[in-house]
Amino acid sequence: MSDPIVTVEHFIAEQERRHPEATGAFTDVLLQLSLAAKLISRSVNKAGLVDILGDAGKENVQGELVQKLDEYANDVLIHVLTRCGSLAGIASEESEEIVPIPAAYEAGPYVIAFDPLDGSSNIDVNISIGTIFSIHRKRSRGRDATLEDLLQPGRDQCAAGYVLYGSSTMLVFTTGAGVHGFTLDPTIGEFLLSHPDMMIPEPGKRIYSVNEGHSTTWTEGQQRLVRHFRGEEGGGTPFSSRYVGSMVADFHRTLQYGGIFMYPGTRDKPEGKLRLLYEVAPLAFICEQAGGASTDGVTRVLDIQPTDVHQRVPVYLGSRSHVELASRYLSED
Residue 94 binds Mg ion (CB under 5 A): no
Nearer to Mg ion, 28 or 115 (CB): 115
Angle 127-128-131 (CA atoms, 0-180°, nearest 5)? 140
Given CA atoms 96, 32, 180, 15 in this order, what sign does their dihedral have? positive
Q: Which residues is 315 bridged to in the sheet? A: 263
Nearer to Mg ion, 55 or 324 (CB): 55
Residue 94 binds ligand AHM (CB under 6 A): no
For Mg ion, how many residues bind (rule: CB under 5 A)? 2
What x-and-dash track marks residues 174-213 binding ligand AHM by CB under 6 A?
-------------------------------------x--
- Of 135-143, 155-163, 218-226, 242-250: span binding ligand AHM (CB under 6 A): 242-250
| Binding partner selected for residue 246 from Mg ion, ligand AHM, none, CB under the kind-specific 5 to 8 Å limit | ligand AHM
Residue 247 binds ligand AHM (CB under 6 A): yes
Among 118, 149, 288, 296, binds Mg ion (CB under 5 A): 118
Residue 28 binds Mg ion (CB under 5 A): no
Nearer to Mg ion, 118 or 296 (CB): 118
- Of 113-121, 151-159, 199-207, 262-270: span binding Mg ion (CB under 5 A): 113-121
- Of 2-10, 17-25, 135-143, 241-249: span binding ligand AHM (CB under 6 A): 241-249
CB 248 within 8 A of CB 130: yes
Total Cβ atoms within 10 A of residue 272: 20
- Of 101-109, 179-187, 221-229, 243-251: span binding ligand AHM (CB under 6 A): 243-251
Residue 115 binds Mg ion (CB under 5 A): yes
Q: How far is CA 118 from CA 49, 196, 215, 231, in A?
A: 21, 24, 23, 31
Q: How far is CA 195 from CA 10, 184, 191, 311, in A?
A: 15, 12, 11, 32
Among 89, 108, 116, 119, binds ligand AHM (CB under 6 A): 119
Residue 322 binds ligand AHM (CB under 6 A): no
Nearer to ligand AHM, 26 or 162 (CB): 162
CB of 152 to ligand AHM, least distance (A): 21
Residues interacting with Mg ion, by CB under 5 A?
115, 118
